[in-house]
């Protein structure tokens, strides 16, 4: 099975983010971590905020910050990640994410706000993905 691949498309609400033939994909579903290999049964998995790791044909890794969405595995083996927001690690502006997180943390200090807390989680994910790519 090591020489088999599957085609993946990563799409956000705003753009087409990534396409390639891959060996493996790992993501954070709402029910926990999941790994998909070639030959996986068809599935639809709700995604949480988390990194999606793609293992390419040559064994290299690409990371995508995924802010909720759905991972679909078709009967033909094609994998589609439909995300509310998806960002390749190489395209994340680390300084902007740090500055935005600091601003959000200041706002959070003024009182509990679920939307601000969720935005902080998104900035943490961006920083994690960009720094571990």
pLDDT tens per residue, range 30-53? 999 999 999 999 999 999 999 999
**Interatomic CA distance for residues 96 and 98, integer angstroms:** 5
Q: Determine which helix (DSSP H) or strand (DSSP E) holds 108, and give its type and residue range.
A: helix 94-109
Which residue, among 61, 51, 83, has the nearest Cα to 70 in the 3D structure? Answer: 83
**Interatomic CA distance for residues 83 and 18, integer angstroms:** 12
**pLDDT category, 2, cuts 50, 70, 90?**
very low
Count CA atoms closer than 13 A to 59's CA, side-chain side: 2
The domains of the chain, with CATH numbers, are: 6-89 (2.60.15.10), 93-131 (no CATH)
């Amino acid at each position: 099975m090591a020489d088999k691949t599957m085609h993946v498309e990563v799409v956000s609400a705003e753009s087409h983010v990534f396409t390639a033939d891959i060996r493996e994909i790992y993501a954070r579903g709402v029910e926990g971590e999941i790994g998909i290999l070639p030959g996986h049964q068809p599935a639809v998995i709700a995604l949480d905020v988390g990194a999606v790791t793609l293992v390419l044909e040559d064994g290299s890794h690409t990371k995508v910050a995924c802010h909720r969405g759905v991972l679909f595995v078709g009967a033909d083996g094609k994998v589609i990640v439909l995300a509310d927001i998806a960002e390749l690690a190489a395209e994340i502006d680390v300084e902007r994410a740090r500055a935005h997180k600091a601003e959000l943390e200041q706002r959070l200090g003024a009182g509990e706000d679920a939307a601000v807390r969720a935005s902080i989680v998104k900035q943490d994910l961006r920083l994690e993905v960009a720094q571990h790519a």
